[in-house]
C-alpha cells in the first residue's frame, strides 16, 4: 500500500498491464504514452497520435477505471493531448531500435517503372483512390494512415501502390521506403528465421518511413505471420510512419484477426472500381500510343465494349494488337480486331441456347420487377424499361423469328419488339448504369 502511495496511479496502471500484454504490444502502444500532468482529480496524457489514444481506451477502459480518477459523469478523468511532432526518443520504445546501418541492399526497393501516377488513367471509378494516393505520397504519414486500397483483379491497385513509391522516391530522396508483396514479406520472415537474422529484418522494417504492402489477402490463415505483420504495422504507425495496403477485399471481409482488421480500418479505406467505358477507351489509347500504335477511336470503343472488367486484359489485348499490326502492316479495322481478339472478348463466350423465360427471370431479378409485369402492359417507367431490356436481349440472344419471340412476351407485336431493341441499343451507348444492368443480365443468362 505504501508503495502505491509513492507511485503515480498512471505508473501503477502501467505496471499492472505490463504483466498482462505481450512485450511488443506494450512497447508499441503503452510505452509511447507520456504522463504530462497529474492531479488527484485528473491526469493529462500525451500520445503520439490518436490511434494510441483509441487503443488505450478500447482495450483498457475497465482497468483504467480501477487506477485513475473518474469524473462525476462516470467517464475517466483523462485529457489527451497529441504530441506536436513524432518523438525521436528511440529509447522510449524498446522495439524502435537504432537506425539500420549494416547492409540492407537485400531490401532494395523494386518498383515497376511503368507504374507511375502519370501513366495511371483517371475516371469516375478510380479518381478518389488516385487522389488519396497522391495525398499520401505528397505528405507521407500526415494524411490518411493507413491507406487501404481494395478492388478486383487487374484494376490498378499495384500500379497506384508503386505510383506512391515512385513519387516519394523522386520528391524526398531521404525517405526510407519499402514496397513489398505480402508473399515476399512472409518469405522474408521464413528466410530470416532460418538464417537467424530475424532481428535484423525486424529492425529494417521498423525503421522505415513508408511501407507499401501489396495483396494483404495472402496473410489470411497465416496466423504466425499475421502477428509479426501486425507488430510491424503498429510499430510504424505509432511513429506516424506511412503504411499503404492493397487487397482484393475490404478489411471487414478478410479472414484476419479483429485486431488486424481494426488497424486496417483506422485510416482511409478506398475502393477501386471497374473503369467505365470512356476510361477504358482512354486506357486503350494511352497504352497503344505508348507502344507506338495508333488505334482509331471507333476500334478503341469496340475493344472497350467487349473487355470490361479487367484492365490487365485490356492491356493484353493492346499488346496483341501491337504484335499483329507490326506483322500485318495494314490498317486496323473492326474485322481484323475481332479476329485477333475474339477469344478475349468477354461477351463472346460460347452461347448456350437461351429461352425467353430465362431472360425474363434474369431481367426481373436485376431490375427488381416481376416476370408477370414484364409480360404485362404497365407503363410505369421502371417496368417499361425492364421490359424493353428483356426484348432487346431476346432479339440479341435468341435465334428465332421476331414474331415468335414477341408472342412469348404476352402477345406483343414484332414491331413493339423491334422498337424496344432500337431504343435500348441507343440507350446503352449513353447510359452507363443501364449498360451495366444489361451486362449483368447477360452474364447471368450466359453463366
Binding site for ligand ADP (CB under 6 A): 115, 119-121, 126, 153-159, 283, 311-312, 315
For residue 51, the tally of other CB atoms under 10 A from its CB is 18
116 contacts which partner out of Mg ion, ligand ADP, none, CB within 5 to 8 A by kind? none
3 state SS of 269: strand
Q: How far is the CB of 188 from ligand ADP (least distance, A)?
A: 20
Q: Residue 215: which residues within 8 A CB-CB, separation 6 or more?
A: 158, 181, 182, 183, 246, 247, 248
Q: Which is it for strands 268-272 and 147-151: parallel, antiparallel or unpaired? A: parallel
Nearer Cβ to Mg ion (319/347) = 319
239 touches 86 (CB < 8 A)? yes
Nearer Cβ to Mg ion (310/319) = 310
Nearer Cβ to ligand ADP (159/442) = 159
Nearer Cβ to Mg ion (313/355) = 313
Q: How far is the CB of 114 from ligand ADP (least distance, A)?
A: 6
| Residue from 170, 171, 163, 257 nearest 212 by CA | 163
Q: Which is it for strands 43-47 and 34-38: parallel, antiparallel or unpaired? A: antiparallel
Nearer Cβ to Mg ion (158/388) = 158
376 contacts which partner out of ligand ADP, Mg ion, none, CB within 5 to 8 A by kind? none
Residue with the shortest CB distance to ligand ADP: 156
User: Vertex 72, ends 67 and 73: CA angle to 5°?
Assistant: 100
Please report, as ranges, the residues that interact with Mg ion according to CB under 5 A: 157-158
Nearer Cβ to ligand ADP (104/119) = 119
3 state SS of 19: coil
311 contacts which partner out of Mg ion, ligand ADP, none, CB within 5 to 8 A by kind? ligand ADP
Nearer Cβ to Mg ion (92/312) = 312
Residue with the shortest CB distance to Mg ion: 158
Nearer Cβ to Mg ion (209/214) = 214
Q: Grid coordinates in use for 193? A: 528465421
229 contacts which partner out of Mg ion, ligand ADP, none, CB within 5 to 8 A by kind? none
Q: How far is the CB of 157 from Mg ion (least distance, A)?
A: 5
380 contacts which partner out of ligand ADP, Mg ion, none, CB within 5 to 8 A by kind? none
Nearer Cβ to ligand ADP (121/364) = 121
50 contacts which partner out of Mg ion, ligand ADP, none, CB within 5 to 8 A by kind? none
159 contacts which partner out of Mg ion, ligand ADP, none, CB within 5 to 8 A by kind? ligand ADP
Q: Residue 209: which residues within 8 A CB-CB, separation 6 or more?
A: 140, 141, 175, 176, 177, 241, 242
Q: How far is the CB of 245 from ligand ADP (least distance, A)?
A: 12
120 contacts which partner out of ligand ADP, Mg ion, none, CB within 5 to 8 A by kind? ligand ADP
Q: How far is the CB of 122 from ligand ADP (least distance, A)?
A: 7
394 touches 442 (CB < 8 A)? no
- How far is residue 140's CA from residue 174's CA, in Å, rounded to a whole number? 13
Q: How far is the CB of 158 from Mg ion (least distance, A)?
A: 3
CA 41 vs CA 51, 179, 359: distances in Å:
25, 47, 71
337 touches 302 (CB < 8 A)? yes
Q: Please identify which residue in the block is written with the cell numbers 482509331.
A: 296
Q: How far is the CB of 313 from Mg ion (least distance, A)?
A: 14
147 contacts which partner out of Mg ion, ligand ADP, none, CB within 5 to 8 A by kind? none
Per-position DSSP letters for 44-57, written without gaps between them: EEEESSHHHHHHHH
Q: How many helices (H) and strands (E) does the chain have?
A: 20, 8
Q: How far is the CB of 80 from Mg ion (least distance, A)?
A: 38
Q: Grid coordinates in use for 286? A: 494511352
Amino acid at each position: 500500500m505504501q508503495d502505491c502511495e509513492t507511485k503515480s496511479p498512471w505508473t501503477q496502471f502501467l505496471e499492472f498491464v505490463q504483466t498482462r500484454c505481450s512485450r511488443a504490444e506494450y512497447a508499441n502502444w503503452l510505452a509511447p504514452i507520456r504522463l504530462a500532468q497529474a492531479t488527484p482529480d485528473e491526469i493529462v496524457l500525451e500520445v503520439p497520435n490518436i490511434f494510441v489514444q483509441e487503443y488505450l481506451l478500447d482495450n483498457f477502459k475497465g482497468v483504467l477505471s480501477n487506477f485513475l480518477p473518474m469524473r462525476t459523469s462516470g467517464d475517466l478523468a483523462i485529457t489527451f493531448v497529441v504530441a506536436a511532432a513524432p518523438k525521436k526518443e528511440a529509447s522510449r520504445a524498446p522495439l524502435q531500435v537504432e537506425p539500420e546501418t549494416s547492409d540492407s541492399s537485400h531490401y532494395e526497393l523494386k518498383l515497376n517503372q511503368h507504374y507511375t501516377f502519370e501513366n495511371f488513367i483517371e475516371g469516375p471509378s478510380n479518381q478518389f483512390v488516385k487522389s488519396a494516393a497522391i495525398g499520401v505520397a505528397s505528405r507521407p504519414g500526415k494524411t490518411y494512415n493507413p491507406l487501404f486500397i481494395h478492388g478486383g483483379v487487374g484494376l490498378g491497385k499495384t500500379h497506384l501502390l508503386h505510383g506512391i513509391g515512385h513519387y516519394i522516391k523522386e520528391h524526398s530522396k531521404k525517405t526510407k521506403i519499402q514496397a513489398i508483396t505480402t508473399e515476399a514479406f512472409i518469405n522474408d520472415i521464413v528466410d530470416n528465421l532460418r538464417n537467424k537474422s530475424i532481428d535484423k529484418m525486424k529492425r529494417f522494417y521498423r525503421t522505415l518511413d513508408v511501407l507499401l504492402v501489396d495483396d494483404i489477402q495472402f496473410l489470411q490463415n497465416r496466423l504466425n505471420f499475421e502477428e509479426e505483420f501486425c507488430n510491424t504495422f503498429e510499430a510504424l504507425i505509432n511513429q506516424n510512419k506511412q503504411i499503404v495496403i492493397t487487397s482484393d477485399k475490404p478489411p471487414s471481409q478478410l479472414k484476419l484477426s479483429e485486431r488486424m482488421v481494426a488497424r486496417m480500418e483506422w485510416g482511409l479505406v478506398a475502393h477501386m472500381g471497374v473503369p467505365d467505358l470512356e476510361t477504358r477507351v482512354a486506357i486503350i489509347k494511352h497504352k497503344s500510343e505508348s507502344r507506338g500504335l495508333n488505334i482509331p477511336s471507333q476500334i478503341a470503343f469496340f475493344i472497350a465494349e467487349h473487355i470490361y472488367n479487367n484492365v490487365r486484359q485490356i492491356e493484353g489485348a493492346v499488346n496483341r494488337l501491337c504484335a499483329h499490326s507490326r506483322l500485318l502492316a495494314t490498317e486496323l479495322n473492326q474485322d481484323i480486331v475481332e479476329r485477333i481478339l475474339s477469344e478475349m472478348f468477354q461477351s463472346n463466350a460460347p452461347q448456350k441456347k437461351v429461352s425467353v423465360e430465362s431472360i425474363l427471370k434474369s431481367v426481373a431479378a436485376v431490375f427488381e420487377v416481376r416476370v408477370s409485369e414484364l409480360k404485362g402492359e404497365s407503363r410505369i417507367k421502371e417496368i417499361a424499361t425492364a421490359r424493353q431490356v428483356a426484348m432487346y436481349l431476346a432479339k440479341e440472344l435468341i435465334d428465332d423469328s421476331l414474331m415468335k419471340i414477341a408472342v412469348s412476351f404476352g402477345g406483343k407485336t414484332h414491331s413493339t419488339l423491334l422498337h424496344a431493341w432500337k431504343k435500348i441499343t441507343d440507350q446503352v451507348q449513353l447510359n452507363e448504369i443501364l449498360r451495366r444492368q444489361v451486362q449483368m443480365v447477360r452474364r447471368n443468362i450466359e453463366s
